[in-house]
Amino acid sequence: MRPLQLKNLLILLVLTLVQVEGFAGEVIKEAEQGPQATKQIQALINSAVSELENNPVLAHKHAAKALELAEASKDQQLEHEALHCLANVQYRTGLSAEFLGTALRALHLARAKGDPNAMSRDLQHVSLAYMMNGNKKKALEEARNALALTLPLQDTAAVDRGYQFLLRTLMQAGEYEELHQLAERALARASTNKNALEVARSMRMIGECHLAQGHANSAIPYLNKASSTLEEMGQQVEYIENQLNIAQAFMDLGRTHEMSLTLDQAERSITPGAPWEIKHRALELNYQLAKARMNWREAIALLERAKFEKDSVAMARQDHRITQLQVNYQLDMKEVDNALLREENTNRAAVLEDERWDKNALLITLAVLVMVVIGLVFTSRRSIILARNLERKSNLIKAQHNEISAKNMALQRQNVRLAESMLSEEEKEMLIKEMHHRAKNNLQVVDSLLQIQLESLSDVQVKRSLKEAQGRIRSMGLVHEHLYRTANGTKNNLQQHLEELVRNTLVAYGAHDRVSIHVDAPLPIFESETLMPLTLVVNELFTNAIKYAFDGRDSGRISIVVRESGAGYELLFAHLGTGGGNNGPILKDQSFGLELVQMLAAQMNGEVTFPKGNGTSLRLTFQTEKEQLRMAS
């Protein structure tokens, strides 16, 4: 037998023994660590649940570790539980994109197991994730699918959960007609099954539907019936939420005394561990109550407190998001480093193995050379050739290793730059949102301070000037509010913006019962450079019309049209009164209002004209391109 054949047999024998020994060791290790790993995963899941309220970052870390161990255990049930835990943490901390990915993974596992109940719960998670990401259509579709999966099972509890979840999703999507019909069906079903709790929940949903549609009188009977049952059956959180809905209904009806009593009753039931959303809503209702009672100092204090708490939650979620990005980046870098180390170790092991066998072959050759003198020359020559080949291989391996190291360093630098760029873009977007939000809140505070100053003044002319300044400040605040909503993904248009502006002005001057409004502006919301001066122009024209255009008349009508015109846009403003007298001018000549409108028109690179010549209408043409805008001097 030749030395090369002996070498191959020895290699095969050693590898076989190593594989058998390693397999047996893995079987024993898995048998010993199986129950221990399960206990560790359950402990991590429990820790994540308990830490979610106080330390969401630690809760996310525990949930992610539990999922990693569950994936390594190959136990689908454990992996499904870990995915549910991680999805709950991501939902509570506002990680909408990550929550959607985790929910879809859990749904995939449930479908693989063929468990309809698990699939229904996972579809509800997917629906919540789509709603968080602003896709209301997909959220409703998955909520309906979740209910459809439970209906054939004849599981009363699961069907009730499916109905209530779909009702809540319809409420969030604003589908009030379908919501009302489905809630009536759920109420009839619960009454037939004599399920008092589901009857109360269905009544609560009907009441909330009426309240959302502005029918507070119709909502109160349903909400009152639901409250008594929810309190009797110990559903504390649902009871508090329902009481807050009743308080809102009383507030909408102007029944502040009953609203105060209901709100006090709800606040006495709120515990320190109650969800943040309930506490914040109670605080907002207290602010509405103080504002309705014209207790401006208390209203300002409550507004500042609500703003502080909301900002704190937003900053906490932002910090958690940044921390999660950093953790993911560090894990990716560690994985790259580990892969490089594994590759380097494999190469070194191969080199050492080759060197070991080559040395053995060299010893055998030397022994043969001692006995066979004639073979000495051939053996020496072979040894020299082997040594040269070994050196070439070693040099080649070193060169390849250096090249791989250089490429990996370049890749790491590129990943660092990419991560920094991603974080920078997210920070810019969050800063823009925060800027509009804070500007709106600061303008609200200035508005409240002017209202307090108005109460202490006796000069009619000064009070009138301050009230006009209040209107302009509120218009600017409304612009920042719409820009903030647009930055958060809410779909707004110019029609909604102008309708809200004129509605607030009508209420402020008490003219909503004698002046009708027509607004026609089917356009998307403009950028702030155009939206701010346009809003101030409409506010100035509308305020002047309310104050001067309808003196001596029983009623009147104001028309506001914004539409495309040539390469830009045009604003048409007109008013018409009835009940006697002639129509007054749209703006007084040489007045501050006319001067302000002309300055704002110049800021939009626009032109003001009076088409009819009788002073009852005004036309403003303007353009929105930023490079064509200029500041009014």
| Cα 581-583-584 angle, rounded to 5 deg | 110
- Which are the contacts of 394, defined by CB distance < 8 A and separation ≥ 6? 351
Confidence label for 490 from pLDDT (cuts 50, 70 and 90): low
Q: What percent of the chain has pLDDT over 90?
A: 6
Mean pLDDT, residues 269-289: 79
Mean pLDDT confidence for 559-586: 76
Q: Which of 193-197, 419-423, 467-471, 511-515 holds the top average pLDDT? A: 193-197
pLDDT in tens, 401-457: 788 778 878 887 887 777 666 555 666 566 655 665 566 566 666 767 676 766 767
The DSSP code sequence of 397-421 is HHHHHHHHHHHHHHHHHHHHHHHHH
Share of residues in the chain with pLDDT > 70 (%): 74
Strands 617-622 and 555-565: unpaired
Average pLDDT for residues 136-159, to the nearest whole number?
Answer: 82
Residues 6 or more apart in contact with residue 164 via CB below 8 angstroms:
186, 198, 201, 205
| 3-state SS, residue 374 | coil
381-385, 395-399, 442-446: range with lowest mean pLDDT: 442-446
Q: Is the pLDDT of residue 390 over 60?
A: yes
For residue 398, what pLDDT is reported? 79
d(CA 288, CA 299): 8
Of 163, 232, 247, 235, give the one whose Cα is nearest residue 202.
Answer: 163
* pLDDT tens track for 290-325: 888 888 887 788 777 777 766 655 555 555 555 555
Residue 313 CA: distances (Å) to CA of 50, 328, 546: 19, 22, 42
What DSSP string runs through 325-369? HHHHHHHHHHHHHHHHHHHHHHHHHHHHHHHHHHHHHHHHHHHHH
Q: What is the third-level CATH fold of 492-628? A: Heat Shock Protein 90 (3.30.565)
Q: Where residue 34 falls among pLDDT bands split at 50, 70, 90?
A: low
The pair phi, psi for residue 311, each rounded to 5°, is -65, -35
State pTM to two decimals: 0.43
Q: How many CB atoms lie within 10 A of CB 522?
A: 10
Confidence of residue 489 (pLDDT cuts 50, 70, 90): low
Please name the fold of domain 37-265+275-300: 1.25.40
- Sequence-distant (6+) residues with CB within 8 A of 562 are 494, 498, 520, 521, 523, 534, 569, 570, 571, 572
pLDDT of residue 28: 40
Q: How far apart, in whole angstroms, are the C-alpha atoms of residue 129 and residue 221?
A: 33
Q: What is the residue-averaged pLDDT of the chain? A: 76
Cα 603 to Cα 46, 437, 600, 611, 622, distances in angstroms: 60, 24, 5, 21, 9
Average pLDDT rounded to a whole number, residues 556-577? 89
